[in-house]
Amino acid sequence: MFADTFWGLKHALKFVHKKTGTPPLGLITVAAMLPADWNLRLLDLNVTVLSDDDIVWADFAFVSAMVIQRDDTHRVIDRCKAAGLTVVAGGPLFTGEHPTFPGVDHFVLNEAEITLPLFLEDLARGNPQPIYTTTQFPDIQKTPAPRWDLVDMKHYATMNIQFSRGCPFNCEFCSITSMFGRVPRTKTSDQLITELDILYGLGWRGAVFVVDDNFIGNARELKEDVLPALIRWRRDKRGIPFNTEVSINLSDDDLLMGLMVEAGFNTVFVGIETPSEDGLAECSKNQNRGRDLLASVKRLQRAGLEVQGGFILGFDTDTPSIFQQQIDFIAHSGVVTAMVGLLQAPYGTKLYRRMEKEGRLNTEMSGDNSDGSTNIVTLMDPGVLHEGYRHVLTHIYSPRVYYDRVISFLRELQPPKVGVRRDRSNMMAFFRSILRLGIIGPERFQYWRLWFWTLTHKPRLFPQAISLAIYGHHFRIVSESS
What gap in Å lies between CA 305 and CA 215, rounded to an integer?
14
Which residue type, as a one-letter code, is found at position 432?
A: R
What gap in Å lies between CA 162 and CA 185, rounded to an integer?
11
Task: State the distance between the two ends of the chain, measured CA to CA, in whole angstroms.
Answer: 19
What gap in Å lies between CA 472 and CA 482, rounded to an integer?
15
What gap in Å lies between CA 443 and CA 473, rounded to an integer?
8
- In this prediction the pTM is 0.95
Q: How many Cα atoms are found within 13 Å in the side-chain-facing hemisphere of 130?
A: 6
Pairing label, strands 106-108, 131-132: parallel
**Phi (first) and psi of residue 139, to 5 degrees:** -80, 110
Secondary structure of the chain: what % helix, strand, coil (to 5)? 50, 10, 40
- Are 352 and 362 a contacting pair, CB within 8 Å? no
Domain positions in the chain are: 24-132, 151-338+382-412, 424-481
Question: From edge to edge, which strands make up the β-sheet containing 131-132?
Answer: 60-64, 86-90, 106-108, 131-132
- The dihedral region occupied by 166, where left means phi > 0, alpha psi between -120 and 50, and beta the remainder, is left
231-236-241-243 Cα dihedral, nearest 10 degrees: -30
Give CATH superfamily name and number for 151-338+382-412.
Aldolase class I (3.20.20.70)
pLDDT along the chain (482 residues), means of 10: 81 94 97 98 96 96 95 96 97 94 97 98 98 97 98 96 96 93 96 97 95 96 97 85 97 98 96 98 97 98 97 98 98 98 95 97 87 95 97 97 98 75 76 95 96 96 96 95 78
Pick the CATH number of 24-132 from 3.40.50.280, 3.40.190.10, 3.90.1150.10, 3.30.9.30: 3.40.50.280
- Are 11 and 474 a contacting pair, CB within 8 Å? yes
DSSP 152: -
DSSP 108: E
